Amino acid sequence: MSPPKQRGYLSSEKQNAAVLLYSSCSKRWERRDNLFIIEVREGFDLNLQGHKMSHQEITRNNSQEKPNERIAGGRDFDFISEKQAMPLVSIIIVNWNGLEHIDECLKSLLDQIYSPIEIILVDNCSDDGSVEYVRQNYPFVKIIMNDGNLGFAAAMNRGIMNASGELIASLNQNTVAEKDWLNILVDAISSSEDTAGASGKVYYLDDRDTIYCTWVKINPFNAIPYNFHGQEGTSSIDYLMGCAMVIRRDAIDKVGLIDEGYFLYYEDSDWCARLIRAGFKLMYIPDAIVWHAVSGSVSNSCFKFSYMMRNRIRFILKNFDIRYILIFIMLFPIEMIINLKNDIARKDLRASRIRFNAILWNILNIKSTYNARRRDLSRIVNIRSYNRSLPLRDYKIGFFEKWT
| Residue 92 scores a pLDDT above 50 | yes
Q: What is the mean pLDDT of residues 85-113?
A: 96
| Residue 374 scores a pLDDT above 50 | yes
State pLDDT tens for residues 259-317. 999 988 999 999 999 999 999 999 999 999 999 998 655 556 888 899 999 999 999 99
Contact call for residues 46 and 25 (beta carbons, < 8 A): no
Same domain as 99, residue 153: yes
Give the distance, in angstroms, between the CA of residue 311 and the centroid of all CA atoms in the same chain. Answer: 19
Domain boundary among 39, 69, 84: 84
State pLDDT tens for residues 130-139. 999 999 999 9
Same domain as 24, residue 132: no
Q: What is the mean pLDDT of residues 99-112?
A: 96
The set of long-range contacts for 391-394, using a CB threshold of 8 Å and a minimum separation of 24, is 391/235, 391/236, 391/237, 391/238, 391/281, 391/282, 392/215, 392/217, 392/218, 392/235, 392/236, 392/237, 392/238, 393/220
The pLDDT assigned to 404 comes to 56
- Give dist(CA 350, CA 256) in Å, integer: 36
Same domain as 285, residue 298: yes
Domain boundary among 43, 67, 84: 84
| Residue 7 scores a pLDDT above 60 | no
| Residue 403 scores a pLDDT above 90 | no
The pLDDT assigned to 12 comes to 30
Same domain as 103, residue 216: yes
Host domain of residue 305: 87-404
How many domains are there within the chain? 2
Task: Give pTM, 2 decimals.
Answer: 0.79
Same domain as 100, residue 62: no
Same domain as 208, residue 117: yes
Domain boundary among 29, 60, 84: 84
Same domain as 102, residue 21: no
Top-confidence residue, 289 or 40: 289
The pLDDT assigned to 401 comes to 63
